[in-house]
């Protein structure tokens, strides 16, 4: 592979690894004047500070088609969460507990840094393999651009499971995780219609798996 082919493969690799984040952020923040509303509910913020031991900043974006949330920052920077308006308006406080704690779990476990490190390690391994074995150019591009991102997405799922496990263990009432995921499954239903995408191209834990996690936690706490 010459330098231009390597650069092209690397660009496609990073785009593929981060396609879902790029899509959501571009959909909302590339608007002429995206409306971002900071959450100013002191009672709610104090509650989450108590649960997570973090000085959280929560912002609501004007997204009314999907229920989504992101943790935008990592230590040592201030934790900043972003939720869609549709999620924030339609979730109860118990359901919101799950989303906030899930995103806080990402922050506390340094997942954004680990995700970035995972991408770079996989890329280095891929470049080493294609250069060591002198694969044909087309095959090398396919390995770096398509195969490695698929592996990365499966690695990223591990971090999602960790964040959900933190949330379900920390939240006062895990039943909010069940009802919240039931709502999300109805609204974000494009994944259900495309099982291949849900399994191989989306890093989020399937809704059904999250509901099972919550039910196990409810049983272990003996919640009626």
Alpha helices in 109-147 (DSSP H): 111-133, 137-142
Cα pseudo-dihedral 10, 13, 17, 18, rounded to 10: 60
State the total domains in the chain. Answer: 1
The C-alpha atoms of residue 91 and residue 45 are separated, in whole angstroms, by 16
How many CB atoms neighbour CB 35 within 10 A?
Answer: 11
DSSP 77: S
Position 193 pLDDT exceeds 70: no
**Residue range(s) defining the domain that contains residue 57:** 3-221
As a three-state string, the secondary structure of 181-217 is HHHHHHHCCCCCCCHHHHHHCCCCCCHHHHHHHHHHH
Give the residue among 47, 92, 43 at the shortest CA–CA distance from 67: 92
Position 97 pLDDT exceeds 70: yes
Quick one: pLDDT band at residue 175, thresholds 50, 70, 90? very high
- pLDDT tens for each residue of 137-146: 666 777 778 8
Query: Would you state the pLDDT for residue 108?
Result: 97
Residues in CB range of 73: below 8 A, 6 or more apart:
79, 80, 107, 112
Preceding omega of 210 cis (within 30 degrees of 0): no
């Amino acid at each position: 592979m010459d330098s231009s082919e390597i650069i092209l493969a690397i660009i496609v690799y990073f785009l593929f690894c981060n396609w879902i984040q790029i899509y959501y952020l571009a959909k909302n923040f590339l608007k002429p004047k995206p409306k971002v509303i900071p959450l100013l509910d002191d009672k709610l913020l104090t509650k989450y500070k108590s649960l997570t031991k973090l000085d959280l900043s929560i912002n609501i974006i004007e997204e009314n088609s999907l229920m989504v949330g992101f943790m935008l920052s990592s230590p040592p920077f201030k934790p900043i969460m972003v939720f869609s308006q549709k999620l924030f308006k339609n979730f109860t406080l118990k359901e919101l507990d799950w989303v906030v704690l899930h995103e806080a779990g990402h922050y506390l476990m340094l997942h954004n840094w680990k995700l970035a490190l995972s991408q770079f390690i996989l890329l280095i391994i891929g470049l080493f393999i294609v250069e060591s074995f002198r694969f044909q150019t087309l095959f090398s591009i396919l390995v770096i651009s398509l195969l490695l991102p698929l592996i990365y997405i499966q690695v990223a799922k591990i971090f999602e499971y960790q964040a959900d496990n933190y949330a379900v263990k920390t939240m006062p009432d895990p039943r909010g995780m069940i009802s919240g995921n039931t709502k999300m499954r109805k609204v974000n239903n494009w994944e259900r219609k495309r099982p291949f995408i849900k399994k191989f191209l989306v890093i989020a834990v399937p809704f059904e798996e999250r509901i099972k996690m919550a039910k196990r936690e409810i049983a272990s706490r003996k919640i009626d």
